[in-house]
Structure 1
């Protein structure tokens, strides 16, 4: 008969093994989706990349959409960790943001191109926008007006200036160097600082 002391240990070991498998599958899926269209990547492709069976993926995530949701949450957590910037320091804020955008440059371009036709991509984008807006409220807290319409207006301006679409325009469409693109973003952020009008 199995002792009571061994059962919790075996359950803990099993839980840890399941978490390792989940992480391996999410990393495999993320790696594939960074290089290929979402629709072109099948569960079999992900299973082969992760070294597991398709059934294992289904057991853990329920299917492709469930896996995509889990990957999106993981990426969001990693993004939050990577975007540590001192509030009010425009140069540092821009540098941190560009480091994040550049880290997955091609994947960002690929995913933005799919937002209008792939529902899960649209969901991921909506979550990313909400996360980005919350980040803007934190790092630009020193310049935002009190809650109300004016605050929303100023937040909208900051969101537009720091959005991934503008980064894509500068870096990919116009071919600006990272130095020039960062300078452009810093200049725009300085120009929309609502406190400047109060100093005049």
Structure 2
């Protein structure tokens, strides 16, 4: 095989090896987030867990903030998949979707929220997450919101955001020890009550 012919093969192999290294580093950082505080996670620790060097971590991610940003992007893709709704899906489907999401990463979200004041880039990421959740709620309950007078929509949206918040899930699922099915039923009941109250007030 000529050197000209082998060059593209080597480039493909090198790109594949780099992507595999990125995957290992990202997995190592995600694992560290599950057990440690962000401020205590070092690039050396991540590199060692990924079987590479600190310099490689810096070259591929730019540092801890880059690792966190990459993790957030990956999580956002997974969250969007878990929370995907079809046209015509009602409130119960929305509750099921958000419960499915919290069952997967709710504890991690709570862990990050507990560290918000300790690492500035984390606050920026969590603010985006809060905004995304509110936007998701607005879309998931668009029909119910549209049926309200304009002045009442913002208040209803606030209530729906609270009813689907990760802390509402935590109170029921973790603090009270409710089963997943019980938690889903109670959150659905909260939302039904909020919507019914609005109907009664607007009627």
**In the aligned structure 2, how far is the partner of 1:164 from the partner of 1:105?**
6
1:98 is aligned to 2:90: no
Structure 2 runs not aligned, ≥5 long: none
Tell me what 2:165 maps to: 163
- Shift, 1:148, TM fit: 5.6
**In the aligned structure 2, how far is the partner of 1:43 from the partner of 1:159?**
36
After TM superposition, the structure 1 = structure 2 runs for residues 153-192 of structure 1, keeping only pairs within 5 Å, are 153-192=155-194
Which structure: greater helix fraction?
A: 2
After TM superposition, the structure 1 = structure 2 runs for residues 1-200 of structure 1, keeping only pairs within 5 Å, are 2-3=3-4, 6-86=6-86, 87-145=88-146, 150-193=152-195, 196-197=199-200, 200=203
Distance 1:148 1:66, change over 3 A: farther
**In the aligned structure 2, how far is the partner of 1:198 from the partner of 1:156?**
16
- Is the contact between residue 35 and residue 106 of structure 1 (CA under 8 Å) also seen in structure 2? no
- Shift, 1:117, TM fit: 2.3
Aligned residue pairs: how many? 199
Distance 1:76 1:197, change over 3 A: same
- Is the contact between residue 39 and residue 118 of structure 2 (CA under 8 Å) also seen in structure 1? no
- Shift, 1:55, TM fit: 0.7
**In the aligned structure 1, how far is the partner of 2:16 from the partner of 2:139?**
35
- Shift, 1:174, TM fit: 2.9
- Is the contact between residue 85 and residue 93 of structure 1 (CA under 8 Å) also seen in structure 2? yes
**In the aligned structure 2, how far is the partner of 1:75 from the partner of 1:136?**
18
**In the aligned structure 1, how far is the partner of 2:123 from the partner of 2:103?**
21
TM-score, normalised to structure 2's length?
Answer: 0.84
- Shift, 1:62, TM fit: 0.9
**In the aligned structure 2, how far is the partner of 1:165 from the partner of 1:121?**
18
- Is the contact between residue 106 and residue 166 of structure 2 (CA under 8 Å) also seen in structure 1? no
- Shift, 1:198, TM fit: 7.8
